[in-house]
A = this chain, B = another copy of it.
Amino acid sequence: MKRFVSTLIATGTLGSVIGCIALASGQPDDTPGSVLGGKLPCGYRDWRLISVAREEGALDDIRAVLGNDAAIKTYREGKLPFPESSAIARLAWSCDVSEENNKSFGKKQSYVAGHPKNGVQFMVKDSVKYASTGGWGYAQFEDGKSVLDAAMIQKCFECHKACKDHDFVFTRYAP
């Protein structure tokens, strides 16, 4: 099964933070009720780094995967499965040649993050509500708006079955 979602929704997302929400306390709302209710939390850009990746092909991006506190704790302790309300965000940008860096290096070798690309994707653990998709709810935002319908979420899950042994999460922690 292919990762259709990322490929199908490969549009720019400049302005992904539009419409994000925060709790009255000022803390980011990273609860399943926010992300999976179709509302982009303000605070996900502050989550800590899990890892980075480069996708060539149709996606053609450079990406970072961030996790909320519950997710990071689980990664670092190495104890699967992820607990309830764990949340993981995948951000991606165009993979742009850096002329500035290359000039300093004296050769063409450097690529940096450009404009946001391929949406912002989330996995949020709610093992009761999302029991049918491995205990994870999936969401994707384009320009701050949730864009996944039920069929697309099912495709997310079908793909993530490949890493069932890692609680359906592809990304490993970068040490």
Contacts and interface: CB of A to CB of B under 8 A. Distances in A.
Nearest to A54: B111
Interface stretch (A62-70, A133-141, A142-150): A62-70
Interface residues of A, number: 47
Contact of A110 (B55, B110, B112, B159): B55
A71 B115 CA distance: 21
A127 interface: no
Contact of A53 (B14, B51, B106, B113): B113
Interface of A: 1-3, 14, 45-46, 48-49, 51-57, 59, 62-64, 66, 91, 93, 95, 98, 100-101, 103-113, 115-116, 159, 162-163, 170-172, 174-175
